[in-house]
Structure 1
């Protein structure tokens, strides 16, 4: 069985989460420097069976695209050229960063750990994936 991979794409870092093979549980995988993302994905797709990649779709409160959508669109073009057979879906990612920080607070992480933006990105990707799995 294949996994689902979720990306919380950012211009500096990209948070990555992955499902189990039964597509029940979402787990944070890592955070990657966005410049290294394609190399990471290529390696990951070789070692793991992935059937779908979710990419967060940041929107404003009025449903318009956020500023980061330009960079994400460019990434998607490159991704589809490099991995033409990989299925890709967009998932609304509004509030995932706030939810990630709240999750960190609720789990008892100290303030210094909560300031780790890489961890916030990884948790955000996990929230994106979990919302997809539960929809």
Structure 2
């Protein structure tokens, strides 16, 4: 009797990594290697963000970094865009091999807060701004993935 081994090769893919940039804290979310599921990874002090990203990308394959694009309701840039632009310059200098895309992040903080309510988190947990930032990064990543 002949036996055959069927091997399915998945394409070599890396993760997508999303950033909800803040002047104090930054939420980070990633996908799995097949880029199917977006999950919150952590929240990092923004002062340590570049070193965190360099360390993470040295251990994990990241195909793209998605950074939230904060806009006002009239579609103009929000005040925090100035800080994000400075960060993007540093990111390009420190990790030039990974492309960066921007995604409109309007309403992600409100949606993150609503997600926390819907999942039954108590008031004390909902005041955890780090968790809100991480969930916001996850929503940015999900939005990007849905647009593909």
Bin for the TM-score computed over the shorter chain: over 0.9
RMSD of aligned residue pairs (Cα, Å)? 0.5
Scaled by the length of structure 1, the TM-score of the pair is 0.99
For residue 11 of structure 1, the aligned residue among 7, 12, 23 is: 23
SS of the residue corresponding to residue 68 of structure 2 reads strand
For residue 71 of structure 1, the aligned residue among 80, 83, 88 is: 83
- Show structure 1 runs of 4+ deviating over 2 A: none
What 5-or-longer segments of structure 1 have no aligned partner? none
- Residue 56 of structure 1 pairs with residue 68 of structure 2: yes
- Residue 24 of structure 1 pairs with residue 36 of structure 2: yes
What 5-or-longer segments of structure 2 have no aligned partner? 1-12
Shift of 1:116: 0.2
**2-structure distance, mates of 1:125, 1:108:** 20
Flag the structure with larger Rg. 2
Aligned residue pairs total 135
- Residue 98 of structure 1 pairs with residue 107 of structure 2: no
Structure possessing the higher relative contact order (Cα contacts under 8 Å, 6 or more residues apart):
1
Scaled by the length of structure 2, the TM-score of the pair is 0.90
